[in-house]
Amino acid sequence: MTTPDAVKGFAGRPLLAATLIVVDRSGPEPRILMGRRRPDAVFLPDKYVFPGGRLEAQDGDLEAVGVLPDYDHGCLKRGVRHAEPQRGVRAFVTAAIRETFEETGYLVAVDGPVNAADPALDWAGLVRAGLRPDLRQLRYAARAITPPGRPRRYDTRFFLAEASAVAAHVPRTDGELSEIGWFEIDRVTAHDLPSITRMVLQDLKGVLDGGGDREIPFYYWRSGAFRRVVLKGRTGG
């Protein structure tokens, strides 16, 4: 039997999650792939968000193609608490790609056979066919932990990919998001965004505008406010 105290404790423990920020720079202004969460969602109802979600047990199984840049890999690996750190790294990357495909229909940063014309195209079938995450097309962008007191809490890693890394797009999604589309940063900030999403977009805009260094920030809650620190990682390994 699960006691109320046990439920409360579980609700306060951040779950591991991953998000993918896909940027289209083909036009005069960069656009970001986003969608609106369902109004009945327990977590962030009606908010505009990047696609993403919770890690699943098998996400670490897929071997990846290529490697992340040393700085990115070092920052990501240093924050992974797993008996097999490389498996933990693969789990975050795979979850970001998988969740983006399931929520938006966009298959991004993968290597392997893809038949976009297949109406039954799904993640499990792609994995069976030999699809693998392509780390060469990704950058580690940020880490954020949901503040205490929320219905659900996540310890999320954000990854960045260019729209040129889109391998396929299918119209079928899992229904988690509506109004899925490509939004200019200045325009989407007028919508209802989670605080963390807004902060990540602000940092990203500085990088895309060429006015800021490519740092990897970590946002966490302390003493009633979000704090921002820049991640440091050991290179190599």
Q: How confident is the model at residue 2 (pLDDT cuts 50, 70, 90)?
A: very low
pLDDT digits (tens, 9 = 90+) for 46-75: 899 999 999 999 999 999 999 999 999 999
Does residue 213 carry a pLDDT above 70? no
Does residue 132 carry a pLDDT above 70? yes
Question: Average pLDDT of 210-227?
Answer: 84
Q: How confident is the model at residue 80 (pLDDT cuts 50, 70, 90)?
A: confident
pLDDT digits (tens, 9 = 90+) for 172-198: 889 999 999 999 998 998 899 999 999
Q: How confident is the model at residue 214 (pLDDT cuts 50, 70, 90)?
A: confident
Domains plus CATH for the chain? 4-230 (3.90.79.10)
User: DSSP characters for the chain?
Assistant: ---HHHHHHHHHSPEEEEEEEEEE-SSSS-EEEEEEE-TT-SSSTT-EE-SEEE--GGGGSSPPBS---HHHHHHHHHT---SSHHHHHHHHHHHHHHHHHHHHSEEESEES---TT-TT--HHHHHHTT-EEBGGG-EEEEEEEPPTTSSS-EEEEEEEEEGGGEEEE-S---SSEEEEEEEEHHHHTTS---HHHHHHHHHHHHHHTT-S----EEEEEETTEEEEEE-------
Does residue 79 carry a pLDDT above 90? no
Does residue 9 carry a pLDDT above 70? no
Give this prediction's pTM: 0.89
